[in-house]
């Protein structure tokens, strides 16, 4: 019986369209799934969508359709993308599936009966923008950031999960089974959260129902409540598991949702799998550890510059842009350039450089040269080597090390390192060709045996590269496989059955070009066009406005104290070391002022010069970052969007009153 291998990705919210981040996680899962199939395991690969919640409810209402209609319309954005990319997803779960709902309700009742879920009144501060209760510490942070207006006192009846009771078992899980969270430094973050500085008693029970939302899974027998977020979403991994595959071996998550997967999720499972007589204050039974995911693998973020991608900043890379160079190219780049666990800044420049260096040159060039030499000098027939000199022996021994080293790194989920190692070997072969000079050997029959050796070693190296890289670049490796004259699908091979030194079953074919060199300027122009077309497309789900409640009325005299003027920006420059500020010289008609504006995320200095703006001209001067700012520019925004400068018409003169 092959060993089961169950791998999952997060289920994505349907209120956003897929972007490079979702693509990365799902591609990484696909590479792992393919890799484990080639290890001979019985793989089950699950992904899906998270479809409940207030945002969906509100958007559906503004569009005059039901939430179910809305999610049915938008969930395929994800499912179709994975199909289009050829990902080997075994099942696509949606939290609106009847089976998922039934699982959540059954598990809810089970934990209620066990006493792990109880009903109580919750009283506390609630963040309107996050749609979540906040702790005292979080509330203080929000107040310090000037977000106090988003906090309201709420009192509501809620069901709670007794998370606090699982602290002891959770801590043991982290201490005794450190592979539960990878990489290790992410485990430390989780430990710090559960018991900062080794302190106990920090975990609070978790509210898992809401009465203020209707678009969710109803709590059985108490239908004014719906199950709230994580007890619904996390249980997808259970509700959509295939028989015989529990527990998951690898659960991929971004670092943003590690806490939920490394704390709530194992605690829910501990509650479900514990039996009468298990002591929550005693040792975590090995029997229960065996029911928990083997590893939560938390990766970092793809960033733009040094900030996270976000819709409001308009710096999101969409799959269409990424797939412009082909699916395999995108897969290769995502795996080769991201070290699992760390963040990585994305740039098209680095993307194209990587593809040109490693696929057009690198592998592509080596394959084309080697296969055409085999054709030219040996009519395509792969010879049997008999003579090895020192340089050949070195390559021969390197060749025998490549697979074990690659597979060891892959086992540790380090595809960045594995691919780096494989490509270092390919570069070594380029050097080998230069040293061996096969074109010279071919000129003299006396060197035939020597030439045979060079050609065979190159052939074996390429065949090995096709096998090892197949999970990462299935199509490209299949092309290479066929060019080498090998039968069937490379992905159907099992690593264990593959013999690096094995004889060639037949002659090589014509070399198929693996990857065409990218003309960077041309490619960028076309990607820009894709970007613009994507931005123009209507957003999947309108985000509800995120604005504070209306302020109280003021009388006219109070308003009239504010002196608003039209200004013209004459100069603009970034304030060094400040993430937000731009320093501007603004002409107010009667004088020129220095004004600082927190608009760097939205505007480049060069785009500001010559713009007309509305200035609060009688605001007392104030120093920021050591620069005195006299006045303030008016912008429109909500809490989630970038600031849009208010623009008076072109013929409004600097100094005009705004009233
Ligand atoms: O959190 N870089 O869904 P979500 C890398 N529904 N990965 C990124 C990324 C980035 N910049 N941005 C997003 C949810 N991701 C919940 C999950 S699971 C039971 C419920 C990836 O649509 C990454 O995997 O916000 C992250 O964890 C996930 O998308 C968040 O997707």
Per-residue pLDDT of 415-425, as tens digits, reads: 999 999 999 99
Among 161, 194, 174, smallest CA distance to 296 is for 174
pLDDT class of 1 with cuts at 50, 70, 90:
confident
- For 303, the enclosing helix (H) or strand (E) is strand 302-304
Closest atom, ligand 1, to C-alpha of 237: 19
Query: Burial level of 62, CB count in 10 A (0-12/13-18/19+)?
Result: exposed
From 50, 254, 261, 347, mutation site for ligand 1 pocket: most ligand atoms within 8 A of C-beta: 254
| CA nearest to 583, candidates 648, 592, 591, 574 | 574
Tell me which of 406-410, 476-480, 558-562 is least confident.
558-562
Q: Ligand 1, residue 265: give the atom nearest the CA.
A: 19
Taking the centre of ligand 1 as the mean of its atom positions, its distance from the CA of residue 152, in whole angstroms, is 28
Tell me the CA–centroid distance for residue 207 and ligand 1, in Å.
22
Task: Give the position, in ligand 1's atom list, of the atom nearest the Cα of 300.
Answer: 5
Provide the pLDDT confidence category of residue 537 given band limits of 50, 70 and 90: low
Q: Which residue's alpha carbon is nearest to atom 26 within ligand 1?
A: 254
| Residue 310 confidence (pLDDT) | 72
70 vs 22, 51, 62, 74, CA distance in Å?
20, 10, 11, 6
In order of 158, 184, 300, 340, 466, the CA distances from 178 in angstroms are: 34, 7, 19, 17, 34
Residue 89 exposed, middle or buried by CB count within 10 Å (0-12, 13-18, 19+): buried
Q: Which atom of ligand 1 is nearest to the CA of 309?
A: 11
User: What residue's CA is closest to ligand 1, atom 9?
Assistant: 21
The pLDDT tens digits of the residues spanning 97-110 come to: 999 999 999 999 99
**Predicted local distance difference test score (pLDDT) of residue 138:** 80
User: pLDDT digit string (tens) for 392-407?
Assistant: 999 999 999 999 999 9
Looking from the CA of residue 230, the nearest atom of ligand 1 is 19
Weakest-pLDDT range from 285-294, 422-431, 526-535: 526-535
Q: Strand 344-346 vs strand 302-304: parallel, antiparallel, or unpaired?
A: parallel
Element (H, E) at 192: helix 184-194
What would you report as the CA-atom Rg of the chain, rounded to the nearest whole angstrom?
30
- Express as a percent the part of the chain with pLDDT over 70: 98
Residue with the smallest CA separation from ligand 1 atom 27 is 254
- Average pLDDT estimate for 14-19: 89
pLDDT at 539: 56
From ligand 1's centre to the CA of 260, what distance in Å? Answer: 12
- Three-state DSSP class for 307? strand
Examine the pLDDT at 124 and tell me if it is beyond 90. no
Minimum CA distance residue for ligand 1 atom 2? 301
Give the separation between CA 166 and CA 274, rounded to whole angstroms.
11
**Residue of 196, 211, 87, 194 lying closest to 159 (CA atoms):** 211
Higher pLDDT, 418 or 638: 418
Statement: residue 129 has pLDDT above 80 = no
Query: Comparing 51-55, 165-169, 376-380, 437-441, which segment has the lowest mean pLDDT?
Result: 51-55
pLDDT in tens, 583-610: 999 999 999 999 999 998 888 888 899 9
Whether 317 and 271 have beta carbons less than 8 Å apart is answered as: no
Asked if residues 453 and 387 have their Cβ atoms less than 8 Å apart, the reply is yes
pTM given for the model: 0.82
User: Atom 19, ligand 1: which residue's CA is nearest?
Assistant: 234
Please give the distance, rounded to the nearest whole angstrom, from the Cα atom of residue 454 to the centre of ligand 1. 48
| Residue with CA at minimum distance from ligand 1 atom 31 | 12
**Would you state the pLDDT for residue 542?**
57
Of 8, 49, 256, the residue with max ligand 1 atoms within 8 A of its CB, to mutate for a pocket test, comes to 256
Question: Does residue 538 have a pLDDT over 70?
Answer: no
| Residue with CA nearest ligand 1 atom 18 | 10
Q: Ligand 1: which residue has its CA nearest to atom 15?
A: 21
- What atom of ligand 1 comes closest to residue 256's alpha carbon? 27
Q: Is the pLDDT of residue 541 over 70?
A: no
Ligand 1 binding pocket, CB closer than 6 Å: 10-13, 21-22, 24-25, 50, 233-234, 253-254, 256-257, 301-302, 308-309
Binning pLDDT at 50, 70 and 90, where does residue 577 land? confident
Q: How many angstroms separate the alpha carbon of residue 16 from the centre of ligand 1? A: 11
User: 129 versus 460: which is more confidently predicted?
Assistant: 460
Q: 333 alpha carbon to ligand 1 midpoint, in Å?
A: 19
Write down the pLDDT at residue 634: 95
How many angstroms does the Cα of residue 288 sit away from the middle of ligand 1? 28
Closest residue by Cα to atom 28, ligand 1, is 254
Q: Is the pLDDT of residue 540 over 80?
A: no
What local confidence, expressed as pLDDT, does residue 66 receive? 95
* Average pLDDT of the segment spanning 635-652: 85
Segment among 128-132, 223-227, 505-509, 523-527 with least mean pLDDT: 128-132
**Is residue 176's pLDDT more than 80?**
yes
Average pLDDT, the chain: 93
- Closest-CA residue, ligand 1 atom 12, reads 21
Q: Specify the pLDDT at position 639.
A: 78
Compute, in angstroms, the gap from residue 254 CA to the centroid of ligand 1: 6
Whether residue 515 has pLDDT greater than 90? yes
pLDDT for res 499: 96
Which atom of ligand 1 has the smallest separation from the CA of 13? Answer: 22
Check whether 471 has a pLDDT greater than 80: yes
**Centroid of chain to Cα 312:** 18
In a 3-state reduction of DSSP, which class is residue 316?
A: coil
Task: Tell me: pLDDT of 640 over 80.
Answer: no
pLDDT at residue 130 greater than cutoff 80: no
At 544 the pLDDT is: 64
Atom of ligand 1 nearest to the CA of 233: 19
Reported as a pLDDT band with limits 50, 70 and 90, residue 135 is: confident
In the predicted structure, residue 312 carries a pLDDT above the cut 80: no
CA angle 279, 284, 289 (to 5 degrees): 130
The DSSP code for 340 is T
Q: Where are the beta strands (DSSP E) in 101-236?
A: 117-127, 132-133, 151-161, 181-182, 206-207, 209-210, 226-227
Residue 455 has pLDDT above 60, yes or no: yes
| Residue 218 CB coordination number (10 Å) | 17
Structure tokens that stand for 312 in this block:
């409001």
pLDDT for 507: 95
In the structure, what pLDDT confidence band is assigned to residue 496 with cuts at 50, 70 and 90?
Answer: very high
pLDDT band of residue 285 (cuts 50, 70, 90) is very high
Q: Higher-confidence residue: 122 or 80?
A: 80
Which of 202, 208, 138 is closest to 170 using CA atoms? 202
Which atom of ligand 1 is nearest the CA belonging to 16? 22
- How far is 183 from 73, CA to CA, in rounded Å? 37
Convert the pLDDT of each residue in 339-370 to its tens digit: 999 999 999 999 999 999 999 999 999 999 99
């Amino acid at each position: 019986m092959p060993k089961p291998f169950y791998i999952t990705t997060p289920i994505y919210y349907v209120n956003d369209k897929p972007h490079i981040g979702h693509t990365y996680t799902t591609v990484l899962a696909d590479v792992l799934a393919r890799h484990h199939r080639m290890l001979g395991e019985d793989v089950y690969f699950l992904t899906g969508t998270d479809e409940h919640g207030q945002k969906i409810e509100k958007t559906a209402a503004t569009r005059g359709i039901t939430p179910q209609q809305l999610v049915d319309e938008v969930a395929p954005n994800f499912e179709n993308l994975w199909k289009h990319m050829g990902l080997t997803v075994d099942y696509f779960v949606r939290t609106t599936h009847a089976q998922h709902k039934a699982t959540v309700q059954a598990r809810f009742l089970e934990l209620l009966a066990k006493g792990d879920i109880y009903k109580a009144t919750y009283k506390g501060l609630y963040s309107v923008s996050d749609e979540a209760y906040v702790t005292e510490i979080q509330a203080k942070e929000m107040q310090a950031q000037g977000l106090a207006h988003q906090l309201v006192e709420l009192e509501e009846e809620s069901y709670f999960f007794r998370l606090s009771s699982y602290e002891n078992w959770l801590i043991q899980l982290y201490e005794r089974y450190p592979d539960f969270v990878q990489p290790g430094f992410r485990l430390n973050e989780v430990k710090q959260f559960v018991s900062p500085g080794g302190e106990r008693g920090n975990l609070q029970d978790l509210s898992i129902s809401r009465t203020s939302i209707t678009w969710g899974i109803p709590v059985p027998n108490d239908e004014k409540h719906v199950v709230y977020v994580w007890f619904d979403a996390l249980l997808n991994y259970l509700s959509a598991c295939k028989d015989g595959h529990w527990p998951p071996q690898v659960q991929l998550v971004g670092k943003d949702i590690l806490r939920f997967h490394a704390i709530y999720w194992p605690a829910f499972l501990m509650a479900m799998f514990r039996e009468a007589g298990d002591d929550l204050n005693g040792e975590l039974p090995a029997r229960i550890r065996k029911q928990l995911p083997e590893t939560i693998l938390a990766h970092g973020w793809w960033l733009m510059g040094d900030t996270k991608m976000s819709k409001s900043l308009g710096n999101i890379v969409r799959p269409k842009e990424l797939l412009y160079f082909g699916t395999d190219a995108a897969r290769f780049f995502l795996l080769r350039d991201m070290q699992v666990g760390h963040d990585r800044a994305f740039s098209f420049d680095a993307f194209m450089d990587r593809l040109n260096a490693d696929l057009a040159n690198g592998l592509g060039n080596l394959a084309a040269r080697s296969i055409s030499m085999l054709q030219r000098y040996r009519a395509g027939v792969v010879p049997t080597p008999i003579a090895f000199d020192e340089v050949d022996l070195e390559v021969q021994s390197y060749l025998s090390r490549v697979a074990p080293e690659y597979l060891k790194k892959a086992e540790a989920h380090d595809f960045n390192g594995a691919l780096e190692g494989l490509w270092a070997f390919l570069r070594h072969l380029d050097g080998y060709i230069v040293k061996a000079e096969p074109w010279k050997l071919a000129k003299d029959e006396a060197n035939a045996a020597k030439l045979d050796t060079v050609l065979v070693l190159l052939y074996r190296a390429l065949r090995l590269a096709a096998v090892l890289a197949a999970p990462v670049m299935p199509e490209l490796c299949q092309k290479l496989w066929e060019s080498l004259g090998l039968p069937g699908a490379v992905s159907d091979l099992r690593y264990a059955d593959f013999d690096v030194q094995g004889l060639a079953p037949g002659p090589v074919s014509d070399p198929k070009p693996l990857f065409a060199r990218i003309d960077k300027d041309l490619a960028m122009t076309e990607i820009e066009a894709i970007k613009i077309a994507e931005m123009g497309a209507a957003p999947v789900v309108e985000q509800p406005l995120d604005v504070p409640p209306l302020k109280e009325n003021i009388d006219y005299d109070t308003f009239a104290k504010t002196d608003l003027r039209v200004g013209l920006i004459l100069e603009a420059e970034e304030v060094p070391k400040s993430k937000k500020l731009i320093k501007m010289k603004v002409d107010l008609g009667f004088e020129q002022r220095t004004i600082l504006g927190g608009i760097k995320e939205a505007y480049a200095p060069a785009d500001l010069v010559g713009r007309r703006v509305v200035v609060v001209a009688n605001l007392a001067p104030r120093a920021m970052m050591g620069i005195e700012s006299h006045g303030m520019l008016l912008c429109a925004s909500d809490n989630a969007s970038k600031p849009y400068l208010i623009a008076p018409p072109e013929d409004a003169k600097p100094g005009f009153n705004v009233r």
